[in-house]
């Protein structure tokens, strides 16, 4: 997070540039400041802030008297019961607001409250160590929270908020304190962190927007806000300590910008931008469900990237034509426990049946060693270590269970398998042999021929680009993960604020790699798709089409806008654009050329 002067993401809003940040105001108004976070749910909110602070308990460490031990265990069990009643109430509210899909999030939390290992461990420690219940609960949950928070994968760091909510809920109910859910109508809520339960309950007060210090774009709260059409910005560092209740705030959930104490000129600018975005979305939504074609009639297909099956309910309405990337590692519900084959099968077949006959590409578990509770090593740099296909090959029981679950769920023949972190043909051959073995075994068991899922390779490492011609002759399709490809090519950790400005998707090396990969796939009649963030960037869209890309997998909410843009281009002009960009030798020159093209269309 940083105080910065923000530029608008488009040249619109009556052609007027966004007002510059003012250090002071002659009217005596508080200083106007801009903060850069991560846009987690699109939209603009303008209003007053409400600082949502959760109460925390601070109790002196003390040893229980012998006669109080059983009473303390009873208090703990009663707290679990009260917590369950709260979550069931929240589950009912969620079902009314969003349907059954998202209410399952709270069923998962209720299951944790019934976990016999958790209950027995905490009860036994209260008895043997004579510690108060709140201390033991804190210590036990913190063991798991530490695994989540120190994970190299953002998706697991975000799960920490869900677990933290359960811990805080139990401790609050241990002290019989009421749930804080009432807030004024129509405010912008600021908090250090929010749980799915917080968002659901607070949204009843017609909240205009949410901003949090923690969180990410794949968190449960982000997905809920998208479904509720509430703008949200996350990853704001310590902004919740700087804002106060009643402070004027502007929140831009598209760009990730938050502005405190905005002047009237800025408010007017964002009001116009908000109205323009509304008009554009309404226009795009009218054609979202229609096939996307260029001005010259070439078909472009848009799929969705998803993290949870609950997102499928919005797939068709947004214009999605299938799922191009399902991140299956989300099934690691506690961050370490490998999901059973039966659990995976149930999840996959539910998804496949929901969208059939549309395709469903399931990426095999893209996990690092830090996800496995029995990992033999603590790696200094998991991003360059034991992760993705490397773990799956070294731990065949994990790969076998997932492959069997996918094959069994492929009853409609619409599931394909995507292999993460490919750097060699040997890895592809290994997975293919595992698939062949399980196809043969299951065909024998079920006494019928089983449909064979297609095999795809993630292209996200420079080594894969170097052997792309061989790869595209041995798989059915490829999916380009531009986030990791950029990170590994430029040697820049995209989550490291020190070098974040060097993470540039329009670097000449990146766009030349993309062209090479797409051209090779087309030459070898291998389906090519992009699933990284670059695929959602309107600036990159004509360049990628010009390179020969015809399939995109993006966040579902981005599809209507991208579809509407496609109709403005001809293939000839996008090919000319791509050719020009490939001759340019700087990021700035490439972006300038793409911006000129965008302005002309």
Active-site annotation, residues:
220, 531
484 is in an annotated binding site: yes
DSSP sequence for 230-246: --EEE--TTGGGT--TT
Place of tokens 């009237």: 264
287/292 Cα distance (integer angstroms): 9
Q: Show the beta-strand stretches assigned E in 332-427.
A: 360-363, 415-419
Nearest-angstrom CA–CA distance, 415 and 426: 23
3 state SS of 248: strand
> Phi and psi of 493, rounded to 5°?
-75, 115
Q: How far is CA 75 from the centre of its chain?
A: 37
Look at residue 529 and give its three-state secondary structure: strand
Q: What angle do CA 228, 335, 162 make, to 5 degrees?
A: 35
Distance CA 303, CA 359 (A): 9
- Give the H/E segment covering residue 456: strand 454-459
| Burial category of 538 from C-beta neighbours within 10 Å (exposed 0-12, middle 13-18, buried 19 and up) | middle
- Residue whose structure tokens are 């303390």: 72
Contact status, residue 288 vs residue 314, Cβ threshold 8 Å: no
CA distance 169 to 172: 5
483 is in an annotated binding site: yes
Backbone angles phi, psi at 49, to 5 degrees: -85, 150
The annotation status of 363 as a binding-site residue, yes or no, is: yes
37 SS3 class = coil
CA distance 414 to 411: 8
Query: How far apart, in whole angstroms, are the C-alpha atoms of residue 523 and residue 145?
Result: 48
327 is in an annotated binding site: yes
How many CB atoms are located within 10 Å of the residue 184 CB? 12
Tell me the binding residues.
327, 363, 460, 483-484, 494
Tell me the binding residues for phosphoenolpyruvate.
327, 363, 483-484, 494
Tell me the binding residues for Mg(2+).
460, 484
């Amino acid at each position: 997070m940083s105080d910065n002067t923000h530029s608008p993401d488009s040249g619109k809003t009556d052609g007027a540039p966004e007002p510059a940040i003012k250090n002071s105001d002659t009217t005596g108004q508080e200083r106007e400041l801009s903060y850069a976070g991560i846009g987690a749910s699109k939209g603009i909110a303008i209003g007053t802030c409400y600082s949502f602070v959760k109460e925390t308990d601070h109790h002196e460490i003390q040893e229980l008297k012998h006669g109080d031990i059983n009473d303390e265990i009873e208090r703990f069990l009663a707290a679990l019961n009260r917590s369950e009643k709260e979550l069931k109430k929240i589950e009912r509210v969620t079902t009314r607001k969003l349907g059954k899909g998202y209410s399952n999030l709270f069923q998962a939390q209720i299951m944790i409250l019934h976990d016999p290992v958790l209950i027995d461990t905490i009860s036994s420690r209260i008895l043997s160590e004579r510690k108060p219940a709140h201390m033991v609960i804190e210590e036990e949950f913190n063991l798991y929270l530490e695994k989540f928070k120190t994970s190299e994968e953002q998706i697991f760091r975000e799960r920490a908020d869900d677990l933290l909510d359960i811990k805080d809920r139990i401790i609050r109910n241990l002290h019989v304190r009421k749930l804080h859910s009432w807030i004024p109508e129509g405010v912008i809520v600021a908090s250090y962190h929010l749980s799915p339960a917080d968002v659901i309950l607070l949204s009843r007060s017609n909240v205009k927007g949410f901003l949090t210090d923690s969180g990410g774009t794949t968190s449960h709260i982000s997905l809920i806000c998208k479904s509720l059409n509430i703008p949200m910005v996350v990853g704001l560092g310590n902004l919740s300590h700087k804002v106060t209740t009643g402070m004027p705030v502007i929140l831009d959930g598209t760009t990730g910008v938050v502005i405190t104490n905005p002047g009237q000129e800025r408010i007017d600018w964002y009001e116009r931008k908000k109205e323009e975005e509304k008009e554009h979305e309404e226009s795009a939504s009218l054609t979202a469900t229609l096939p996307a074609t260029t001005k010259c009639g070439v078909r472009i297909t848009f799929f969705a990237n998803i993290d949870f099956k609950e997102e499928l309910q919005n797939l068709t309405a947004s214009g999605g034509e299938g799922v191009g990337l399902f991140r299956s590692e989300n099934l690691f519900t506690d961050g370490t426990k490998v999901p059973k084959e039966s659990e995976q099968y149930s999840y996959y077949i539910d998804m496949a049946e929901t969208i059939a006959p549309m395709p469903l590409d399931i990426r095999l578990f893209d996990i690092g060693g830090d996800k496995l509770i029995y990992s033999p090593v603590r790696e200094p740099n998991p991003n360059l270590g034991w992760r993705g296909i490397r773990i799956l090959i070294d731990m065949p029981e994990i790969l076998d269970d997932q492959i069997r679950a996918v094959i069994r769920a492929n009853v409609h023949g619409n599931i394909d398998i995507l292999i993460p972190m490919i750097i060699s043909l040997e890895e592809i051959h290994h997975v293919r042999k595992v698939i062949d073995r399980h196809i043969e075994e299951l065909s024998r068991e079920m006494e019928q021929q089983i449909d064979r899922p297609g095999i795809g390779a993630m292209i996200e490492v420079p080594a894969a680009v170097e052997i792309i011609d061989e790869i595209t002759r041995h798989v059915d399709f490829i999916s380009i993960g531009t986030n990791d490809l950029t990170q590994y090519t430029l040697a820049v950790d995209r989550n490291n604020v020190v070098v974040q400005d060097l993470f540039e998707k329009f670097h000449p090396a990146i766009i030349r790699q993309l062209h090479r990969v797409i051209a090779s796939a087309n030459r070898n009649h291998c389906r090519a798709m992009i699933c990284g963030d670059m695929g959602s960037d309107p600036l990159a869209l004509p360049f990628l089409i010009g390179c020969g890309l015809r399939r995109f997998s993006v966040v579902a909410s981005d599809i209507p806008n991208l579809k509407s843009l496609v109709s403005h281009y001809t293939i000839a002009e996008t090919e000319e654009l791509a050719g020009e960009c490939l001759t340019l030798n700087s990021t700035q020159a490439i972006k300038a050329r793409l911006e000129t093209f965008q302005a002309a269309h």
